[in-house]
A and B are shown apart, each in its own frame.
Chain A
């Protein structure tokens, strides 16, 4: 397995992943995890030279490749890249619901500390006549 920066593979996974999200990310800001030449995961990140806080953004590993440390390896490499790019801090957001428990454990194992917890509310507005 290796993680690398690659425009070619990104083009291919556009068909499989959250198109609207990935397509807004600059190619150089995404790394891909490959197993035997197959892209099985990615991690994206953003730099902010004003705050020197690097954001760990969308990242995912295909379901059948989870549980073998690929996500952690992607994260470690992103943190390394953030540091090399001159960032002083890293920040990441994830869910507090149960499906995100493995992601939270991964972030905490690599040194992330909880800063803030939030809730998002939603409502349907009354439909106007006509």
Chain B
């Protein structure tokens, strides 16, 4: 299913990786994050730049739910998961590979490992969301190759309240 990229190791994250994970999420999402598009259109949100908001995802996550891809001792990608014991749905969360390491199957290896962990945790289903914009096409292809089927499509809208059309 996944062609293993040579020289890449997938390992469990530990607490000492936290700063590295923050760097990875900022660099890995720089070209694909909604937080950044939002800032480009509406300006700085809440006095913090998009990368500070995005970093919060890694500041708060339980590192037991994160795996890291390494090559030559350097962390080049990560993937996160969440499990829900009630629904038995495991969710693939934030995941990214540094731009200069893309296109060699590292994302596929990370995703395959996360799916294994979700299954080992006793989940019956797996779920993942990604964008429909062009920059997410490689991600969509990866998920489809791993057997994911489309469940639904959605849209996020935003507005500056002072510019609303009063009904």
Chain A residues, CB < 8 A from B38: 115
The answer to whether B152 and A92 have CB atoms under 8 Å apart is no
The answer to whether A93 and B34 have CB atoms under 8 Å apart is no
Output the nearest chain A residue to B127 by Cβ-Cβ distance: A122
The answer to the question of B55 belonging to the interface, with a C-beta cut-off of 8 Å to chain A, is: no
The answer to whether B149 and A122 have CB atoms under 8 Å apart is yes
Indicate with 1 or 0, residue by residue over A43-55, a CB within 8 angstroms of chain B CB atoms: 0000000111110
Q: How far is the CB of A38 from chain B (nearest CB, A)?
A: 22
The answer to whether B124 and A124 have CB atoms under 8 Å apart is yes
The answer to whether B157 and A113 have CB atoms under 8 Å apart is yes
Q: How far is the CB of A79 from chain B (nearest CB, A)?
A: 5
Output the nearest chain B residue to A75 by Cβ-Cβ distance: B167
Output the nearest chain B residue to A108 by Cβ-Cβ distance: B157
Output the nearest chain B residue to A72 by Cβ-Cβ distance: B167
The answer to the question of B16 belonging to the interface, with a C-beta cut-off of 8 Å to chain A, is: no
Indicate with 1 or 0, residue by residue over A68-104, a CB within 8 angstroms of chain B CB atoms: 0100110110010011000111111111110000001
The answer to the question of A129 belonging to the interface, with a C-beta cut-off of 8 Å to chain B, is: no
- Given contact pairs A104-B155, A110-B167, A123-B148, A115 touches B161 in the complex (Cβ within 8 A): no
Q: List which B144-167 residues lie within 8 A (CB) of chain A.
A: 144, 146-167
The answer to the question of A18 belonging to the interface, with a C-beta cut-off of 8 Å to chain B, is: no
The answer to the question of A21 belonging to the interface, with a C-beta cut-off of 8 Å to chain B, is: no
A41 to B133, CA, bound (A): 34
The answer to whether A111 and B126 have CB atoms under 8 Å apart is no
Task: Please report whether the interface of chain B is mostly helix, strand, loop or mixed according to DSSP.
Answer: mixed
Indicate with 1 or 0, residue by residue over A117-128, a CB within 8 angstroms of chain B CB atoms: 111111111111
Chain A interface bracket (under 10, 10 to 19, 20 to 34, 35 or more): 35 or more
A-B Cβ contacts below 8 A, count: 163
A110 to B165, CA, bound (A): 5
Chain A residues, CB < 8 A from B156: 91-93, 114-118
The answer to whether B119 and A89 have CB atoms under 8 Å apart is no
- Given contact pairs A89-B160, A89-B161, A121-B148, A96 touches B127 in the complex (Cβ within 8 A): no
Indicate with 1 or 0, residue by residue over B126-137, a CB within 8 angstroms of chain A CB atoms: 111111110000
The answer to whether B148 and A118 have CB atoms under 8 Å apart is no
The answer to whether A116 and B133 have CB atoms under 8 Å apart is yes
Chain A to chain B contacts (Cβ below 8 Å), 6 pairs = A89-B45, A96-B155, A114-B155, A118-B154, A121-B128, A121-B144
Chain A residues, CB < 8 A from B144: 121
Chain A residues, CB < 8 A from B152: 95-97, 119-120
The answer to whether A121 and B143 have CB atoms under 8 Å apart is yes
Output the nearest chain B residue to A73 by Cβ-Cβ distance: B167
Q: How far is the CB of A127 from chain B (nearest CB, A)?
A: 8
The answer to whether A95 and B154 have CB atoms under 8 Å apart is yes
Chain B residues, CB < 8 A from A96: 132, 152-155
